[in-house]
Amino acid sequence: MGKPLHAATCAVLVAIAGCARSPAPQGVDADRLLNADSEPGQWLSTGRTWDEQRHSPLSQINTGNVAQLALAWHADLDTNRGQEASPLVIDGVLYVSTAWSKVLAFEAATGKPLWRYDPEVPGEWGGRGCCDVVNRGVAAWGGNLYLGSYDGRLIALDARTGKPVWETNTIDRDQPYSITGAPRVVNGKVLIGNGGAELGVRGYISAYDAVDGKLLWRWYTVPGNPADGFENPQMEMAAQTWKGEWWTLGGGGTVWDSMAYDPTLNLLYVGVGNGSPWNQAYRSPGGGDNLFLSSIVALNPDDGSYVWHYQTSPGETWDYTATQHIIVADLPLQDGQPRRVVMQAPKNGFFYVLDAATGKLLSAKNFTRVSWATHVDLETGRPAETLDARYDRTGKPAIVEPSAQGAHSWHPMSYSPATRLVYLPMVETSMAMTTDPDYKPRHMAGNTGTGRTPPDIYEQLQSDAPRQSSAYLVAWDPVAQREVWRSARRGRVGSGVLSTAGGLVFQGSADGEFAAYRDTDGKKLWSADPQTGVVAAPVSYEVDGQQYIAQLAGYGTRDYYTGNHSRLLVYRLGGTDQLPAPEAPPPARTPDPPPAFGTPQMLALGESTYNTWCAMCHETSYGNRGLFPDLRVSPMINTAESFRSVVLEGALQSRGMASFGGRVAPDEAEAVRAWLTQRAHEARAAQR
């Protein structure tokens, strides 16, 4: 690896080698990351700093002038799939990853494109994940950028050119792993996890040498088959907390998003995901804590050795990941002395404050309605569960708050050292959960072990309006463990959050608004219309004395028919760029479905096949947002031939619709078509 070019070198090289005229990114190293606050105009890592506070020290844009914030430049993206990345901004260059793990570089001040990299993820991999082919960011170290591709590769790119320097495979490619999270780099080691716990894998995190891509260490989050021996003493200890043959479906525990690093303690904090399958009755019959599912684990990044863990939901059975954003901070706790803490607000609805050195639980409080536990016992660190929520043990359906969507999912929060508040994208949400009595594990398919909502429970959910998903931006005092203010958002989920020294909190919403709030009381001071849903977290940077706010937009659409405009949007005071006028409103009626067909048995087969293979992407409770076609109105259901060509023969594989040939039988595919056609007629009748 060559050393990074410095600006002066570049000026000399322009004449002899055509060195780009754009600002030359200098290397990112431990010194720069340690002293990130001395370069407030940069955004050097996905959470800006190793402690991942996502708070910008810039204050040119502030509560007094934010009304003048306007678009400086924008860049349309080449896909309408989901966009979840936080850009990096280093020495005047903005780098952003997009759906399908592509990376783009722009001049940060002007939006001039510099380079573009496409790892060419095969389209059929689109069917190997739970939640779209998203990517949440890249990492920088030396003169390189690091990208985790959806198909499980870790790729080093030359930050000046976007050309690959090295790439390495991080997964067993016969298992349904995928990568959507941003790598982090600590002292020359690139850290990367993966996803796939909805389908059935064994989670782990790996460290690779930033220079040459050599695997340095790997730490599994759940034990494998004891007959194969344990990788380390922690796996042997963890195996005592499992029952049955959990390893046959992997056990889960993927490290698919959050990490943070404390350089003073030299500890890497890692968030661990849910179990495979969700339902503990199938995963670990007879119970057990199932370590290290739903845990925050502290590792020594030098060698990947275990230091401590805290488990948020022992024996979880509700998809309660602890992969949500982790923030390291110094908080004045009750005795007034600053204490180094780790904070997390995971899906399960409790806000946890842990001692960063030991993992001891210092406080925990629910930040939304929670029905699965009444409180967390500070002595034992364990939740006081309500038995009713344990559908896996009672054998009865349960309405559970929060839902699998999570009271807070991957959408990053922020911590302002000025207000000492955490700004948290919160969702009030509930779900019905019940055991699927006919569950059988299936390779490369959704494996939750949960079943269909019984009609009476479904009616109860529908009629109970407060239980419907509603999104809020919440200002949370982590010392007092109480809400200071909340602001209701449009749509079912709010975007990630940025706070700034200008006294502002920026957040978007899934149905298309991007806004700034006063950090002390949540008063909305500014908003823009991005013409699409916004879920990624914004960042802020400065070039030549001008502060910018950058936001990646694209979440699918307010309505399936309006089309989606995935875009990078960059704002500054007095910006003069404008988005083109949005498209015309959608047609009022759905197209005519083909004639209904199929016996009751065929329709039942169609429904169960659909739920097993299709529902994870197409029109589930958290999937139906216009990213994936609503198959009730797809022309593909018009004939058996067209449906078969897509579902069994991969006609749309290059666009991310995997072939299910060999997994779904021809009569099952036709039964799905019959069931979809019936549902299309129901939808049509409901419009009349």
Catalytic positions: 319
Pairing status of strand 88-90 against strand 93-98: antiparallel
Q: Does 257 bind Ca ion (CB under 5 A)?
A: no
Separation between Cα atoms, residue 258 and residue 203, nearest integer Å:
14
**Stretch touching Ca ion by CB under 5 A, among 1-9, 208-216, 319-327, 421-429:** 319-327
Nearest residue (CB) to Ca ion, 350 versus 675? 350
> How far apart are alpha carbons 677 and 633 in whole angstroms?
9
Contacts (Cβ under 8 Å, ≥6 apart) of 373: 348, 350, 383, 384, 385, 386, 389
As a whole number of angstroms, the distance between CA 248 and CA 226 comes to 12
Q: What are phi and psi for residue 651, nearest 5 degrees? A: -60, -30
Nearest to Ca ion of 274, 295 (CB atom): 274
Task: Specify the residue for token string 């410095």.
Answer: 6
199 or 671: whose CB is closer to Ca ion? Answer: 199
Binding mask 432-471 for Ca ion (x = CB under 5 A): ----------------------------------------
Binding mask 534-573 for Ca ion (x = CB under 5 A): ----------------------------------------
CB of 94 to Ca ion, least distance (A): 31
Q: Are 423 and 412 in contact (CB under 8 A)?
A: no
Q: Which is nearer to Ca ion, 274 or 313 (CB)?
A: 274
Dist. CA 406–CA 370, nearest whole Å: 11
Which member of 97, 274, 469, 499 binds Ca ion (CB under 5 A)?
274
Contacting Ca ion (CB under 5 A), which of 51, 319, 401, 428? 319
Q: How many residues lie near Ca ion (CB under 5 A)?
A: 2
Q: Phi and psi for 241 in degrees, rounded to 5?
A: -100, 10
CA distances from 459 to 398, 465, 469, 510, 626 (A): 13, 11, 15, 26, 25
3-class state of residue 432 by DSSP: strand
Q: Does 151 bind Ca ion (CB under 5 A)?
A: no
Q: Identify whether the C-beta of residue 512 lies closer than 8 Å to the C-beta of residue 534.
A: yes
- Residue 324 binds Ca ion (CB under 5 A): no
Rounded to a whole number of angstroms, the minimum distance from the CB of residue 348 to Ca ion is 12
- Among 258-266, 270-278, 613-621, 652-660, which window interacts with Ca ion (CB under 5 A)? 270-278
**Shortest Å, Cβ 47 to Ca ion:** 21
Least Å from the CB of residue 278 to Ca ion: 8
* CB closer to Ca ion out of 80 and 276: 276
Name, in order, each residue with C-beta under 8 angstroms of 103's C-beta and a sequence gap of 6 or more: 95, 96, 97, 116, 117, 138, 145, 147, 157, 162
Cβ neighbors of 433 (< 8 A, separation 6 or more) are 317, 318, 391, 397, 398, 400, 450
- 316 is a site residue for Ca ion (CB under 5 A): no
- 470: β partners: 428
Query: Smallest distance, Å, CB 560 to Ca ion?
Result: 25
Residue 392 interacts with Ca ion (CB under 5 A)?
no
Shortest Cβ distance from residue 586 to Ca ion (Å)?
A: 31
Respond yes or no on whether the N-terminal peptide bond of residue 292 is cis (omega within 30° of 0): yes
- Element housing 673 (H / E): helix 666-687
Is residue 312 within the footprint of Ca ion (CB under 5 A)?
Answer: no
Q: Which residue lies nearer to Ca ion by CB, 62 or 317? A: 317
Stretch that binds Ca ion, among 42-50, 86-94, 273-281, 361-369 (CB under 5 A): 273-281
Q: Does 80 bind Ca ion (CB under 5 A)?
A: no
Choice between 151 and 319, CB closer to Ca ion: 319
- What's the min distance (Å) between Cβ of 255 and Ca ion? 12
CB of 603 to Ca ion, least distance (A): 29
Q: Using the rule CB under 5 A, give the single segment among 177-185, 313-321, 563-571, 617-625 that binds Ca ion.
A: 313-321
In the complex, which residues of this chain contact Ca ion (CB under 5 A)?
274, 319
